[in-house]
């Protein structure tokens, strides 16, 4: 039953998401993914929509509005202000060494984590939409992927950072 519903709704969802994506500034795939998640949550809770087509159209519009609202609110960070305490050559050398260590650890990460974190660390300050385009993945997958990659990086760096501190 659920499989038949999903199969029947797939073309309608693709069309609705494609129609709403341009106006909202979101990717059609991101809208589709968000609506599928909402529908599966409803089905898992035992609350299937009474009229699936009407529900789907409303859900796509809701997700498009959410994407527009998020796009209006999110702004790229400006350049970080210079640290007044890092003006001496020693501090600059330590900061550069820390950055080299971080980039070295990022390159040792598995899968597409190096590319994702390099994009996040980029001085161009890319938006999630730009990063998703560069990596060829949906914008909605970036958050969970970023969390996994940062967890891997944390585990990779913990022995290096912990070894430098005195214990006890």
Domain 88-164 of CATH type 3.40.640.10: no
Q: Where are the domains of the chain?
A: 2-71, 88-164
**Burial state string for 39-76 with b = 16 or more CB within 10 A and e = fewer than 16:** beeeeeeeeebeebeebbbebbbebbeebeeeeeeeee
Cβ-proximal residues to 141 (8 Å cutoff; 6+ apart), any chain: 33, 132
Under the banding of pLDDT at 50, 70 and 90, the label for residue 72 is confident
Q: What is the pLDDT of residues 48-65, one digit of tens each?
A: 899 999 999 999 999 999
Q: pTM higher than 0.85 for the full model?
A: no
pLDDT greater than 50 at residue 79: no
pLDDT the model gives residue 157: 79
Q: What is the pLDDT of residues 98-123, one digit of tens each?
A: 888 888 888 888 888 899 988 888 88
Per-residue pLDDT for 8 more than 60? Answer: yes
DSSP string, the chain: -HHHHHHHHHHHHHHHHHHHHHHHT--HHHHHHHHHHHHHHHHHTT---SSHHHHHHHHHHHHHHHHHHHHHH-----PPPPPGGG-SHHHHHHHHHHHHHHHHHHHTSSTTHHHHHHHHH-TT---HHHHHHHHTS-GGGHHHHHHHHHHHHHHHHHHHHHHHSPP-
Q: Distance (Å, rounded) from C-alpha 2 to C-alpha 35?
A: 15
Beta-carbon contacts of residue 152 (< 8 Å; ≥ 6 apart)? 109, 110, 113
Least confident of 6-15, 62-71, 91-100, 101-110: 91-100
């Amino acid at each position: 039953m659920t499989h038949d519903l999903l199969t029947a709704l797939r073309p309608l969802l693709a069309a609705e998401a494609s129609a709403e994506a341009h106006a909202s500034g979101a990717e059609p795939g991101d809208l589709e993914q968000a609506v599928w998640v909402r529908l599966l949550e409803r089905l898992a809770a035992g609350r299937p929509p009474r009229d699936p087509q009407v529900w789907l159209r409303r859900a796509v519009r809701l997700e498009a509005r959410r994407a527009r609202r998020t796009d209006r609110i999110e702004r790229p960070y400006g350049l970080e202000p210079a640290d007044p305490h890092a003006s001496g050559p020693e501090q600059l050398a330590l900061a550069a060494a820390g950055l080299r260590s971080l980039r070295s650890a990022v390159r040792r990460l598995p899968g597409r984590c190096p590319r994702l974190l390099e994009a996040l660390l980029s001085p161009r300050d890319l938006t999630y939409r730009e990063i998703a385009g560069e990596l060829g993945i949906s914008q909605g997958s970036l958050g969970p992927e970023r969390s996994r990659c940062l967890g891997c990086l944390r585990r990779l760096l913990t022995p290096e950072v912990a070894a430098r501190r005195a214990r006890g």
